[in-house]
Structure 1
Amino acid sequence: MRAPVDDLPHILVVDDDRRIRNLLQAYLLDNGFRVSVAGSAAEARDKMRGVAFELVVLDIMMPGESGLSLTAALRNEGSRVPVLMLSALAETSDRIAGLETGSDDYLAKPFEPRELLLRIQALLRRRDQPERSRAEVAFGPFVFHVQRGELRKGGNVVRLTTRERDFLRRLAASAGQAVARAELAPDSSDEGGRAVDVQINRLRQKIEDDPSTPLYLQTVRGTGYVLLAD
């Protein structure tokens, strides 16, 4: 038996491209969601004043106020509604900018509708989980237990050096936020950060399928590194 319409998660799709709005609305409706649409940040604000949405799918590049600006404003106002950003900008720096403003996920255009659906479902599951301290940080197939300093992939322990464990602890404590090289190695006299970069590369060898194109442990140019957790 299908859930009553009022019990279905209500998603707001914000995109200045009418074709994309209509396609996403139709697809999400077919997959069991209530869907409202907005063509601009201003229209989205109006709709959010009267409705408590479970999730916002938000385009970055829009005339007037951008999706980045709207997300930052929502977070400054204390809103915790999950935000999934869409963008034709696929560079790592663009993804990091989106996450740093407070978005919960980032999907580059063009994308497979099925992937969008899976990401939405994951964000809604995360929202429904009770708040807990960051005792564990999950990313991809990995789970890192912060206190024990134990990294697991599936049921198997991934062996870490003491230095790698220390780095991962600092990154996990600020998951989703950039961590400066000096923070990763505050006791190091390596002013250029070369020793930090070497340790990061070794850690990537253990957690990335392709260390040259990392998915989880990414570089923030001019700052340091960020661990993108689930």
Structure 2
Amino acid sequence: MAETMLFSEADKPHILVVDDDERIRNLISRYLRENGFVVATAKDAADAETVMTLALFDALIVDVMMPGKTGYEMTRDLRATSQIPILLLTALGEIDNRIEGLESGADDYLSKPFEPKELLLRLQSILRRHRPIDRTVDKIKIGKWMYRINDDLVEGEDGEEVRLTAVESRLLESLARQAGKILSRDELARLCGVDGNDRTVDVQITRLRKKIEEDSRYPRYIQTIRGQGYMLKQ
């Protein structure tokens, strides 16, 4: 069962810690919270995938040696669809292991045992190199529409309001918060908590287009990028 928490502090970086060792999870979580982060945890890659359907994260801290999918495998899978910052943790300190971690797509690599302060400094360094997710924004302008995120609706310049389903709203939020960036169907499925089947995402996109596009056959805002996914053009 995923160990999640409510994200009530919108201006703080959101971190997901993935480690099968409960003691390590608790140690990292406590230290990061004491230093201004909002933290959720998962005990393995499968658990992490569930947590990542529930919230957006600014970075991941992932243990390499976990039951099931390893940290290397999890990182490679994520890199196929996402550039979220990833810091790998491992008890293996050999050069070859470090190289494998970086080649898998990790942003940094830290060997156990480690000093919490070093973990904090490495995480802060990674975050400085990436643009954080802005959760303080609850309204986003999309063409003639004002998307009111917390209300699950878009409002036209003439006052017209169009209600969105929960999935449609999560889909639009995922695209809008990363406007101009191509998001794959798999990534959108994870962010929106829907079945990863391509057809499922396509159906939701079609429904959303019918609500916000003047002509859904020739979309102006939600662009299809052939062979890659979708992108919001503002």
Q: Which TM-score applies when normalising by structure 2?
A: 0.52
1:58 partner amino acid: V
Other-structure match for 1:112: 115
1:21 partner amino acid: R
What secondary structure does 1:7 align onto? coil
Which runs of structure 2 are paired with 1:192-203 in the superposition (5 Å)?
none
d(CA) in 2 for partners of 1:6, 1:20 = 25
- 1:70 shift after superposition: 0.5
1:9 partner amino acid: P
Q: Percent identity?
A: 54
Other-structure match for 1:9: 13
Which runs of structure 2 are paired with 1:127-138 in the superposition (5 Å)?
127-128=130-131
1:97 to 84, 97, 100: 100
Does residue 21 (structure 1) correspond to residue 25 (structure 2)? The answer is yes
Q: Which runs of 5+ in 1 are unaligned?
A: 130-230
d(CA) in 2 for partners of 1:44, 1:104 = 18
1:55 to 43, 53, 59: 59
Does residue 64 (structure 1) correspond to residue 72 (structure 2)? The answer is no
Does residue 82 (structure 1) correspond to residue 74 (structure 2)? The answer is no
What secondary structure does 2:29 align onto? helix
Higher relative contact order (CA 8 A, sep 6+): 2
Does residue 126 (structure 1) correspond to residue 138 (structure 2)? The answer is no
Q: Supply the RMSD in Å over aligned alpha carbons.
A: 1.2
Does residue 30 (structure 1) correspond to residue 37 (structure 2)? The answer is no
Q: Which TM-score applies when normalising by structure 1?
A: 0.53
- 1:50 shift after superposition: 2.0
What secondary structure does 1:127 align onto? coil
What secondary structure does 1:5 align onto? coil
Other-structure match for 2:153: none
Which runs of structure 2 are paired with 1:205-220 in the superposition (5 Å)?
none
